Homo-oligomer: A and B are copies of this chain.
Amino acid sequence: MSVTTKATIASFGGKLLKLSHAATSTKCEMSFNLYLPPQVFQNPSQKIPVLIYLSGLTCTADNCSEKGFFQHGASKKGIAVLYPDTSPRGLDIPGEADAWDFGTGAGFYVDATNPPYNNGYNMYSYVMEELPQTVFAAFPQLDSSRVSITGHSMGGHGALTLFLRNPGKYKSVSAFAPISNPVNCPWGQKAFTGYFGADQTEKWKEHDATELVKKWNGRLDVLIDVGTGDNFYKQGQLLPENFEKAAKEAGVEGVTVRYQPDYDHSYFTMATFSDDHVEHAAKFLFA
């Protein structure tokens, strides 16, 4: 459970820590970043809630730490931001680094059941259990009872599915350009074929936000931003309409999908709207 500090960077009055630990669920050393807002240092007796940000395909913990602007909002609200990596690294599974949308940098926040990926590609358990446990043990000032989750693209899929599969575990959920219906898009079909097997379509549905929302009980206060200039949205990789429609048909209220004119799939979009997503999380973390 011990954590190695690789860098400590001053950011918006707080500290961005670049950390790593030996993870058992993913069978490798995992890097991650943790932003501690100024309130951590101003009042050491104050418990600080946590927002988990799950990154998209090809990313590490660094991209959003540098370009997403979450520290701006989090520093004002007094929220720590936890940035996990997107896959195990260096497992040396044959072919894992051959594509940018599968394997390395593309763990899809599932526990693989299909060989050889079942030997370490457990990003679901890693992000839901092992990483938070490690972080809360190493940083006791963080409040394990107040955690929210958000993410981008593949990480938006991760945020939605982790939230929907674990009612009550997270205080709130939001997403940027989430892969909202992976069983019906090329990225999701490729990933789920690789991680679960082509014939395991019932298993696929267990990690599909559109399928999961059909079974959700009660209100779902989710904020989703999708740019209308997002090429992956236009190509049908994201399918937020399917999620919206399923929620509506299931009578699930509170779903807000904002189609932001001209915004693309890049971090410029996160930077623009991250304050709104921090605000959304804060509403529930400080309720």
Chain A residues within 8 Å of B, Cβ to Cβ: 9-13, 15-16, 66-67, 69, 71-72, 227, 229, 260-264, 266-269, 271-272
Within 8 Å CB of A268, what residues of B?
Answer: 9-11, 16, 66
Contact A271 B11 (CB under 8 A): yes
For A227, list chain B residues within 8 Å (CB).
10
Q: A263 to chain B: which residues have CB within 8 Å?
A: 10
B12 touches A267 (CB 8 A): no
Q: Are B67 and A10 in contact (CB under 8 A)?
A: no
Q: Once bound together, how far apart are the Cα atoms of A197 and B229, in whole Å?
A: 50
Cα of A190 to Cα of B53 in the assembled complex, Å: 43
In the complex, how many angstroms separate the beta carbon of A76 from the nearest chain B beta carbon? 12
Contact A229 B10 (CB under 8 A): yes
Partner of A272, one of B10, B66, B266: B10
A262: B residues at CB distance < 8 A:
10, 15
Closest-by-CB residue of B relative to A229 is B10
A275 nearest in chain B by CB position: B72
A11-B271, A66-B268, A69-B69 are known contacts; what are 12 more A-B pairs with Cβ within 8 Å?
Answer: A9-B264, A9-B268, A10-B260, A10-B262, A10-B263, A10-B264, A10-B269, A10-B272, A12-B271, A12-B272, A66-B67, A69-B271
A187 CB to closest chain B CB (Å) equals 23
Cα of A13 to Cα of B16 in the assembled complex, Å: 27
Return A274 CB to nearest CB of chain B, in Å.
10
**Closest chain B residue to A262, Cβ basis:** B10
Q: Known A11-B268, A12-B271, A261-B10; judge A69-B66 contact (CB<8 A).
A: no
Most buried by B among A10, A69, A227, A272: A10
Q: Which residues of B contact A13 (CB under 8 A)?
A: 272
Q: Shortest distance in angstroms between A229's beta carbon and chain B's nearest beta carbon?
A: 6
A65, closest chain B residue (CB): B268
In the complex, what residue of chain B is closest to A227 when comparing beta carbons? B10
**Closest 10 A/B residue pairs (Cβ):** A10-B262, A10-B263, A11-B268, A12-B272, A9-B268, A66-B67, A69-B69, A67-B67, A11-B272, A9-B264
